[in-house]
Amino acid sequence: MQQNQRSSSSGSSQSPRSPQSQPFLSVSVSDPVKLGNGVQAYISYRVFTKTNLPDYQGPEKIVIRRYNDFVWLRDRLFERYKGIFIPPLPEKSAVEKFRFSAEFIEMRRQGLDLFVNRIASHPELRLSDDLRLFLQADEETMERVRAQDLGIFKKPSDLMQIFKDMQSKVSDVVLGKEKPVEESTPEYEKMKRYIFELEEHLGEAQKHACRLVKRHRELGQSLSDFGKAVKLLGACEGDSLGKAFAELGTKSEELSIKLQAEAHHLLMNFEEPLKDYVRAVQSIKATIAERATAFKQHCELSETVKLKEINLDKLMLTRSDKYGDAEAEYRELKAESEEATRRFETIVRLMNEEMVRFQEQKTADMGVAFHEFAKGQAHLANSIAGAWRGLLPKLEACSS
């Protein structure tokens, strides 16, 4: 989630392996490096782990990971932890020329750091064998595991399509376009409505935050161009007017730098957190789709068991020689139905817990993001006002 989760450490100042220390798992993603050339080029990251958890090899570990390794971890957790909201990954750049820009690489590094620390701070996901492998295995082992899993799990691109299909399916259900076997409890309906409305409102807020970033950059560039032009104009004038114009040009260029810096601050600390929560909501929608599938399986198997019971009673009354085989089939089906019911109930319980955790974290993260926005805007406005105010006496002297 945002800055309060940049490094998940509960008691990380205590000495590792100390019996008095609280369990902690702290992870940082840093030092992005471009490797390879052309279409084979990619960015590697240094993943540094500090922990006192007994299942880990030692108190500290450094491994090198690439984006596909993070995708592997996300996909494994999604397959294994039904009902838990798996944290979203930062998106890939859709535009080739931006893939290796410094700004995009830093945004992705920040997003990957956030992703892995959300997992490391989650009470269940942090105990995952897959996370432990991700944080400790050498690069060759990690690559081999990923290659093996391509035969078991869907490719990352296929999984992303599955997520989109799930989201579309849930959207159709919510909007009344499709009428499958579905839960209809007030609590479940309320949760779905909340998630879909939240996605819409977050998307709108993120879109306008993007426009604010663009506006700051454009104004900064305009002030820079204006400053250069005014300096050239001042060079053609006399001493007092020329000096005033030169100072006006210099101030314009200084303010241009401040505007560009604030645009970057807005991007990293306001627009990106909003975009990240849009992705988080999409992850929740994928879990909702999983819950819908589990409910459908639970209902269909329960109905099939009832039909088998009726058939079994008929066979028993007619003393059919098929009764023994039918009874064995019934028992197997009933066990499968009971397992489907347990699976569905587990997803419901976990989702209820996850919603509480999600809303608490969202409140904290959005508070930080909007505070950063307001603080940055106030500081920028003061800087701009102070710069222009300082020039007024000199410009007034020239005009008089």
Please compute the mean of the pLDDT values over residues 340-369 and round it to a whole number: 96
Write down the pTM of the prediction.
0.81
pLDDT confidence bin for 203, thresholds 50/70/90: very high
- Tally Cβ neighbours within 10 Å of residue 206: 19
Give me the residues paired with residue 157 across strands.
none
- Count of CA atoms in the C-beta half-sphere (13 A) of 2: 23
Please compute the mean of the pLDDT values over residues 94-108 and round it to a whole number: 79
Residue with the bigger pLDDT between 150 and 197: it is 197
- Count of CA atoms in the C-beta half-sphere (13 A) of 282: 19
CA–CA separation, 286 and 278 (whole Å)? 13
Give me the residues paired with residue 48 across strands.
28, 62
DSSP-derived secondary structure letter, 37: -
Per-residue pLDDT tens digits for 317-337: 888 888 888 889 989 999 999
Residue corresponding to tokens 């976990």:
350
| Among 288, 286, 258, residue whose Cα is nearest residue 188 | 288
Q: Helix (H, G, I), strand (E, B), or coil: what is residue 320?
A: coil
Residue 313 scores a pLDDT above 70? yes
pLDDT confidence bin for 314, thresholds 50/70/90: confident
Cα 262 from chain centroid (whole Å) = 23
Cβ contact 31:46 at 8 Å? yes
Residue 165 scores a pLDDT above 80? no
Residue type, 75: D
Cβ contact 60:48 at 8 Å? yes
Given this model, what pLDDT does residue 39 score?
A: 78
Given this model, what pLDDT does residue 156 score?
A: 46
CA–CA separation, 391 and 396 (whole Å)? 9
- Give the chain's mean pLDDT: 87
Per-residue pLDDT tens digits for 269-299: 999 999 999 999 999 999 999 999 999 999 9
Residue with the bigger pLDDT between 21 and 243: it is 243
Per-residue pLDDT tens digits for 230-245: 999 988 877 778 888 8
Per-residue pLDDT tens digits for 206-232: 999 999 999 999 999 999 999 999 999
